[in-house]
A and B are shown apart, each in its own frame.
Chain A
Amino acid sequence: MYEWLFYIFAGLMLVSGFMVVANPFTRSPVASAMFLVVAIVSMAGLFVMLNAFFLAAVQVIVYAGAVVVMFLFVIMLLNPVERSRRRGWILGVVSALLAPAALVLLLLKAFYALDGGDIAETPVLEGGARELGELLFSAYVLPFEVVSVLLLAAIVGVVVLNKRETE
């Protein structure tokens, strides 16, 4: 039964991920955003199956609960009309080819590194809040602080842009 849950979540994620970028029924950006929510929630399901409960909960809170709501907010307020697809299409094609190629390379490397070894040997990790917090403040403290500075810079940037407009 456990394997079936994996196939359900993974299938849902792939199908809704496809619907985000290439929905054959409608071009509405709201539909894309809603399928993105389905993809995110299915991904949280996969995290739960990996015992990463904290990651699953945070994934739903941050991405489904806040980020996509922001997307919808912007879509509904600005009502974007369909832009011309000509501009920057080379960049789009190049990145669309490069990203999957890099991913396939990474996966191939991982599969060859396996070399018939036993996968089940790896210990089951309980991805709780405590373990994650300890790692964030010990082994990964530098990347963690760099990311927070980046976010702070974004906040300051937004405030500066807003101030300029009102003056």
Chain B
Amino acid sequence: MPAEVVDVVDRGNSKMSEELKFIVFSLMKVGAVAGVMMGMIAYVVLAERRVSAFIQGRLGPNRVGPLGVLQPLADAVKAFFKEDFVPAYTRKVYFWIAPALAMLPPLMAVAVIPFGSRLGGQKMVVADLNVGILYTFSVVSLAVYSIILAGYGSNSKYPFLGSVRGSAQVISYEIAMALSVIPVFMYTGDLNLSAVIGHQTGGIWNWFVFKAPISFIIFLVASFAEANRHPFDFPETENELVAGHNTEYSSIKFAMFFMGEYGNMIAGAAIMATLFFGGWTLPVFGLDKPAETLFVGILHILIFLAKVVVFVVLAIWVRWMWPRFRFDQLMDLGWRRLIPLALANILGTALLLWALN
């Protein structure tokens, strides 16, 4: 074979193996992230039940396994083996699609979040997009379809009212949420989430929760509303709408709505940890630089997970300590308080940056 031909073939091979490496490592990361996410959803449900029990002076589920740690397993078995009852008056296609759509957005949203610095030569993020946060918003904005279709597909009164409420709420708070994070990106000058984390290194005062506190407060409130969490869980207010959009669902279909809610909670916690609390970094012991050893790489992942857990526990705590709002109060808070506040925050940040330069 002539030398040039060998060269071309070799280059073809190395390009092929480069592509293959990318595909294999991406699949591994996708599998790991999705697996950890599903495991966390199962245990956040248990945490919710235990924490709510402690807040109310009960014990909570503590019988399956030591301290009740095998309870999620029992829950899953129960969800699968219960009768899956589909009422005759439902619109079948939408009724079946809605639970699947509830699970999809949170699982997709975590794809752009850097959950660690690096292990070996691999960056610990599934997709390091340069429009990172916009991708997250675009995926999260699709979550509303599961509520709408659940209400429409159920074809009965309470789910319908719940879904109309839910869609109005999600659209309203999406605006406040998107506006609230703009100051963060004005500081960073980049939409990439790895760049946002890089900007928060070198001292705890560089965390955006201290640099842009108003952004953090608005984002926190809006993320509860986006996940339909208490005190904004209007799509399913059980004292007025039975169970809102998931009234007609049973068995694993109901469980998927449930898991979607917790998935949203975890995704929101991961975004908050990344945007406002330095992601996988800690400002001590030089833990804010990309890892060189395997041990530090694993430590970074654990730091990130710990931060996520803190926000998840915060969401659970808020649920059991606060009364529910009224729907008009929710709309008032969103449109007449949070959105003007977010706009003023953007203007203030712009003025500050202009004055500093």
Contacts and interface: CB of A to CB of B under 8 A. Distances in A.
B248 interface: no
Interface string A22-61: 0000000010001001000000100000000110111011
Given A60-B142, A76-B148, 20 more contacts: A53-B135, A54-B131, A57-B137, A57-B138, A58-B134, A58-B138, A61-B178, A64-B138, A65-B174, A66-B171, A69-B145, A69-B171, A72-B152, A72-B167, A73-B148, A76-B152, A77-B164, A126-B130, A128-B131, A129-B134
B137 A61 contact: yes
Q: Closest 6 CB pairs between A and B? A: A65-B141, A57-B134, A60-B138, A53-B131, A61-B138, A57-B138
B53 to A, nearest CB: 37
Given A57-B131, A72-B167, A65 B191 contact: no
Nearest to B145: A37
B88 to A, nearest CB: 18
B142 A65 contact: yes
B350 interface: no
Contact of A65 (B129, B138, B163, B168): B138
13 contacts: A30-B152, A37-B145, A53-B135, A56-B138, A57-B131, A58-B138, A61-B134, A61-B141, A64-B141, A69-B145, A73-B164, A76-B163, A129-B134
A1 B61 CA distance: 50
B176 to A, nearest CB: 13
Contacts of B141: 60-61, 64-66
Contacts of B152: 30, 72, 76
A58 B151 CA distance: 27
Contacts of B170: 69
Contacts of A60: 138-139, 141-142
Contacts of A54: 131, 134
Chain B interface SS verdict (over half): helix
Nearest to A55: B131
Chain A interface SS verdict (over half): helix
Contacts of A56: 138
The winner among A60, A65, A70, A76 for most chain B CB atoms within 10 A is A65
Contacts of A65: 137-138, 141-142, 144, 174
B160 interface: yes
Contacts of B168: 73
Contacts of A66: 141, 171, 174
Contacts of A53: 129-131, 135
Contacts of B134: 54, 57-58, 61, 129
B205 to A, nearest CB: 27
The winner among B130, B138, B152, B168 for most chain A CB atoms within 10 A is B138
A11 B213 CA distance: 46
B94 interface: yes
B183 to A, nearest CB: 15
Contact of A76 (B137, B160, B174, B191): B160
A74 B332 CA distance: 21
A37 B149 CA distance: 13
Given A60-B138, A66-B141, A128-B131, A73 B167 contact: yes
Interface in B173-210: 174, 178, 191
Contacts of A30: 94, 152
Interface in B108-155: 129-131, 134-135, 137-139, 141-142, 144-145, 148-149, 151-152
A86 B195 CA distance: 58
B331 to A, nearest CB: 14
A54 B129 CA distance: 10
Contacts of B149: 34
A38 B151 CA distance: 20
Nearest to A126: B130
Contacts of A57: 131, 134-135, 137-138
Contacts of A34: 145, 149
The winner among A57, A60, A64 for most chain B CB atoms within 10 A is A57
Nearest to B137: A61
A69 B137 contact: no
A76 B131 contact: no
Given A30-B152, A57-B135, A76-B164, A69 B144 contact: yes
A68 to B, nearest CB: 9
Nearest to B129: A53
Nearest to A128: B130
A110 B135 CA distance: 33
B300 to A, nearest CB: 26
Nearest to B170: A69
B266 to A, nearest CB: 20
